[in-house]
Amino acid sequence: MTGHSIITPKAPTPEVSVNGVVIPAKAIAAETQHHPARRPEAAWQAAAEALAIREALLQAARARGVTAPPATETEPVREVEEDALIQAFVDQQVTTPDPDEESCRRYFSNNRDKLRAPDLYEPAHILLQASKDDPDGYERARLEAQTLVEHLQKRPDDFDRIARDRSDCSSASDGGRLGQVTRGQTTPAFEAAMMKLRPGEMTGEAVETPYGFHIIRLDHLVRGEVPEFELARPLVEEFLRDASWRRAVAQFVSLVVGEAKISGIEIRGATSPLVQ
């Protein structure tokens, strides 16, 4: 089966239990849809792990008398109550200190590129729509695009006029200008071609994307800068706080699981307290 179908192992599997509480095979089978894997056995193992970790946390929370806010009327009561109980348990048991200035400055110094503002590109393009489902139309568009490239290499000032007259993009009315874009906002092929251009340059050949053929001109490029430490500090603090919390939760979950008697599976590592 593929997609989100329920996966069941071909061979019988041992009964999974946590401190004597059996996790039904049906529940594990249903959980496998959240753990895609190449082999059904791997998906089954991951699902059983997740449910065993969840059960261990629920048992530990109840044993300590942890309570959670009641579910709302629009939410599935049992699932929400259990999720809320686990979250309340984790919040009660896991605390992390706020990052100090030395840690923030060290992270800032070692990760300046990650904190740099994104580069801003201002491209313009002429799009000739084409689909490979229409081989004849696709070939006509390809030849026309290359003819236009050759023309524009000789007469680049015609770019705006041709964009308005011929481009199949809504940007045609503005001479093909797309405004400011950053990485990830255009198709991979378009982005790769655009990033090779210097301001004022145009692609030397038509660029093929799922939309058709593009002739791309880069009008402006503003390189992103690294902000001053004080401006970046809130972001750095948030990242360090989150990273510290995740490590602490993983350690706490591993501790709870280590104290539980789990049979039927071997827990390789507890990284998340919640079932997906």
User: What local confidence, expressed as pLDDT, does residue 68 receive?
Assistant: 79
Average pLDDT over residues 6-19: 69
Judged against a pLDDT cut of 70, whether residue 77 lies above it is answered with no
pLDDT on residue 72: 61
Terminal Cα distance for the chain, rounded: 20
Enclosing H/E stretch for 159:
helix 159-166
Band the pLDDT of 81: cuts 50, 70, 90. confident
Q: Is the pLDDT of residue 71 over 70?
A: no
- What's the chain's Rg over C-alpha atoms? 28
Q: Tens of pLDDT along 131-173?
A: 999 999 999 999 999 999 999 999 999 999 999 999 999 999 9
Report residue 12's pLDDT band, with 50, 70 and 90 as the boundaries.
low
| pLDDT at residue 99 in the model | 93
Q: What is the pLDDT of residue 276?
A: 35
Closest CA to 179 of 224, 129, 127, 218: 218
- Give the whole-angstrom CA distance, residue 43 versus residue 3: 13
Q: Is 140 left (phi over 0), alpha (psi -120 to 50) or beta?
A: alpha
pLDDT surpasses 60 at 76: no
What does pLDDT average to over the chain?
89
Tens digits of residue pLDDT in 244-265: 999 999 999 999 999 999 999 8
DSSP state of 67: -
What's the rounded Cα separation, in Å, for the pair 213 and 208? 5
pLDDT in tens, 13-70: 679 999 999 999 999 999 999 999 889 889 999 999 999 999 999 999 999 999 877 6
